[in-house]
């Protein structure tokens, strides 16, 4: 059933904290890598569903700056999985008219992973459907620090007068400067925290928390999150209807 048929209020931009891969695997006596593999299947289905529903931007928190602290074997496996996912799915992104983008300290990624990421981004750059944004080696505090450094540099070089700095100007120095702020944040596995994700951009974002673990989060769970979003009244600090 399409969004139009069901009369859904579809968010322009959805952000997702994909949590629960390890827990899903542990509950089944499987290695964590199997949880990540199954989580990749959820990524594929959610990307396809968002494109079909008319979502314009989808940001997935794929790998945080804190994730580098995990055991080296797990990190290496995740990087290889990411590289393999990009190689295998770029052709599908082309068929689905998906444009791939990425935010974060991408230079921290292994060189081969960076190369494949840039190749996939370039290949899909002319697509006009869903913009899929992978947050990789991403941390919101790090993003804000990098934004401050960029702002200071602009002032020091005479490109910007410090008296002109406001929230809008600062936003243009963040990784997300080319994208609108998220309308809806989905977090799986029931955790009630932002985990250093898009702290600046979430000022007026609606939150949807589900106990469903990411490897089991599929189209129907996405639709339920969108239905819940449609029942909200977004006031942006105003009074709204009472």
* Active site (catalytic) residues: 19, 67
Report how far residue 135's alpha carbon sits from residue 63's, in angstroms, rounded to the nearest whole number.
Answer: 6
* Alpha-carbon dihedral angle through residues 154, 156, 159, 161, given to the nearest 10 degrees: 100
Paired with 153 in beta bridges are: none
Question: Can you say how many angstroms the Cα of residue 82 is from the centroid of all Cα atoms in its chain?
Answer: 14
Q: Is 164 exposed, middle or buried (0-12, 13-18, 19+ CB in 10 A)?
A: exposed
Nearest to 175, CA basis, from 52, 10, 48, 15: 15
């Amino acid at each position: 059933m399409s969004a139009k048929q069901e009369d859904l209020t579809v968010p322009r931009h959805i952000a997702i904290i994909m949590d629960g891969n390890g827990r899903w695997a542990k509950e089944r006596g499987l290695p964590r890598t199997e949880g990540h593999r199954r989580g990749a299947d959820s990524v594929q289905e959610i990307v396809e569903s968002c494109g079909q529903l008319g979502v314009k931007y989808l940001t997935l928190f794929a790998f945080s700056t804190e994730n580098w602290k995990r055991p080296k074997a797990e990190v290496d496996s995740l990087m290889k999985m990411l590289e393999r996912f990009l190689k295998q799915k770029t052709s599908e992104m082309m068929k689905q008219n998906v444009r791939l983008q990425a935010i974060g300290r991408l230079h921290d990624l292994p060189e081969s992973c960076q190369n494949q990421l840039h190749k996939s981004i370039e290949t899909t750059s002319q697509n006009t459907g869903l913009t899929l944004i992978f947050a990789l080696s991403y941390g919101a505090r790090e993003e804000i620090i990098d934004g401050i450094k960029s702002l200071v540099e602009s002032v020091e070089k005479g490109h910007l007068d410090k008296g002109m700095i406001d929230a809008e100007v600062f936003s243009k120095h963040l990784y997300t400067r080319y994208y609108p702020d998220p309308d809806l944040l989905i977090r799986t596995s029931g955790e009630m925290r932002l985990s250093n994700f898009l702290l600046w951009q979430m000022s007026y974002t609606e939150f949807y928390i589900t106990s469903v673990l990411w490897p089991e989060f599929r189209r129907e769970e996405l639709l339920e999150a969108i239905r819940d979003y449609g029942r909200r009244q977004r006031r942006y600090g105003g009074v709204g209807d009472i």
